[in-house]
């Protein structure tokens, strides 16, 4: 069964519910900050990872993963940390274990082995978070959140470095142009090394400056990589512009997070929210809509949905990062509103598709020819 048709809508639903709830409660319940961060990283982001990497699963296995994911969300929301933590740990290790096994079988190049290690690191991050919640490890919950954020950032950098230049090269080819810097192995390797230093140094408070220096290097290299993709030539192609903008948010977020290690005037939360809202939001929404189109042969690329969602996520990111600096509460509420609206726009695609399956099966001209050919081989084979 197509995993993305289940986990992508679930991820969007969680994002639509959790963010406004947190925005309404954060003043009265600051203790829920860790729950908020956990749900965005281990709930939303990991559901997107599951839908993207685990293309198809047996129905019973998929149903089991969904049940565990839902149990974790509900248990943590209603204040049952042990049950919620165990369920969340089970889902994380289930998804990451399946993803690691697939990449282990398919990734033949050494540079692809990182996709075997990263999922296992996510499982370790969930275990660290649970140990902190249960009082077994001081500051473990925050360290688990930070580890997961760094790993998700690394995945976005590496996967974006594969998907975005390939798609950009195709868009340029249709305009009789050639992208000469599509493959940048030395930049990719340097970013990977720098981010691995960030991952490790972030777990040791005394090494915050080392983490900042490595993060600044990663941001600089990612910015160089982005410029060499020549995104200004394809800005009229909506999904391409959205992907380039999402990658630009990665550069901004990494830069702000690194600057926080050296400049007291730059809060760490500015970088974290730039990464979580600007980068994660823009890249995941665009990739979910794009992936759904290519895998389902579902007609034209949803340009309007991608455009509106990207604009609203950009505004949400700017408002939320700005609110970190001035503490403007209305900015937080406005950011939550724009984020929720963006997810609603993206999720409307699935509502429309459900309506067609429930009784409107007429094939229109727009539905007859896919805008992009479906993937012919699994993702882990293509990465090899």
Half-sphere exposure of 186 (CA within 13 A, CB side): 2
Token duo for residue 184:
């940048």
Strand partners, 56: 2
Radius of gyration over every alpha carbon of the chain, rounded to an integer in angstroms: 20
In whole angstroms, what is the distance from residue 273 CA to residue 279 CA?
9
What's the longest Cα–Cα distance across the chain? 62
In whole angstroms, what is the distance from residue 184 CA to residue 245 CA?
19
Which domains, and CATH codes, for the chain? Answer: 4-357 (1.20.210.10)
Q: What is the torsional sign of CA 274, 276, 280, 281?
A: negative
In whole angstroms, what is the distance from residue 314 CA to residue 281 CA?
9
Alpha-carbon torsion, ordered 9, 54, 308, 356, to 10 deg: -50
In this prediction, residues 326-335 reach a mean pLDDT of 82
Contact 268, 290 (CB under 8 A): no
Q: What percent of the chain has pLDDT over 90?
A: 48
**What are the tens digits of pLDDT across the range 79-117?**
888 888 889 989 988 888 887 777 666 555 555 566 667
In this prediction, residues 309-332 reach a mean pLDDT of 89
- Give the predicted TM-score (pTM) of the model: 0.86
Which residues in 212-237 are b (16+ Cβ under 10 Å) and which e? bbbbbbbbbbbbebbeebbbeebeeb
The pLDDT score that the predictor gives to residue 353 is: 57
In whole angstroms, what is the distance from residue 32 CA to residue 21 CA?
11
Q: What percent of the chain has pLDDT over 70?
A: 86
**What are the tens digits of pLDDT across the range 357-375?**
544 443 333 333 333 333 3
**What are the tens digits of pLDDT across the range 42-80?**
999 999 999 888 878 888 999 999 999 999 999 988 888
More confident residue, 115 or 243: 243
Least trusted range by pLDDT, from 122-136, 287-301, 343-357 = 343-357
Q: Is 144 exposed, middle or buried (0-12, 13-18, 19+ CB in 10 A)?
A: buried
In whole angstroms, what is the distance from residue 130 CA to residue 197 CA?
24
Strand partners, 2: 56
């Amino acid at each position: 069964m197509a995993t993305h048709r289940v986990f992508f809508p679930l991820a969007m639903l969680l994002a639509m519910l959790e963010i406004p709830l947190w925005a309404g409660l954060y003043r009265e319940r600051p203790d829920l900050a860790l729950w908020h961060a956990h749900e965005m990283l281990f709930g939303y982001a990991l559901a997107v990872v599951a839908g993207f990497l685990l293309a198809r699963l047996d129905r019973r296995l998929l149903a089991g993963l969904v049940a565990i994911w839902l149990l974790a969300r509900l248990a943590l929301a209603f204040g049952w940390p042990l049950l919620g933590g165990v369920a969340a740990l089970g889902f994380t290790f289930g998804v990451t274990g399946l993803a690691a096994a697939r990449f282990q079988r398919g990734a033949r190049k050494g540079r692809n082995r990182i996709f075997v290690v990263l999922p296992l690191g996510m499982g370790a991050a969930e275990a660290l978070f649970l140990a902190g919640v249960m009082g077994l490890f001081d500051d473990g919950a925050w360290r688990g959140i930070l580890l997961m954020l760094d790993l998700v950032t690394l995945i976005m950098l590496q996967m974006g470095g594969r998907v975005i230049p390939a798609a950009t090269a195709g868009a340029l080819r249709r305009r009789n142009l050639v992208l000469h810097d599509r493959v940048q192995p030395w930049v990719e390797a340097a970013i990977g090394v720098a981010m691995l230093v960030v991952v490790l140094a972030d777990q040791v408070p005394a090494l915050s400056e080392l983490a900042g220096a490595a993060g600044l290097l990663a941001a600089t290299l990612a910015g160089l990589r982005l410029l060499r993709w020549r995104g200004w030539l394809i800005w009229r192609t909506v999904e391409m512009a959205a992907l380039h903008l999402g990658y630009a948010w990665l550069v901004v977020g990494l830069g702000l997070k690194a600057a926080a290690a050296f400049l007291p005037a730059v809060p760490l939360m500015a970088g974290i929210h730039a990464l979580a809202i600007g980068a994660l939001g823009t890249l995941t929404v665009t990739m979910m809509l794009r992936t759904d189109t290519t895998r389902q042969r579902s007609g034209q690329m949803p340009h309007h949905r991608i455009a509106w969602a990207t604009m609203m996520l950009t505004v949400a990111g700017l408002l939320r990062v700005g609110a970190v600096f001035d503490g403007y509460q209305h900015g937080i509420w406005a950011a939550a509103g724009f984020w929720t609206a963006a997810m609603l726009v993206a999720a409307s695609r699935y509502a429309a598709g459900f309506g067609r399956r429930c009784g409107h099966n007429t094939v229109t001209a727009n539905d007859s020819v896919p805008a992009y050919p479906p993937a012919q081989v699994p993702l882990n084979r293509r990465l090899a």
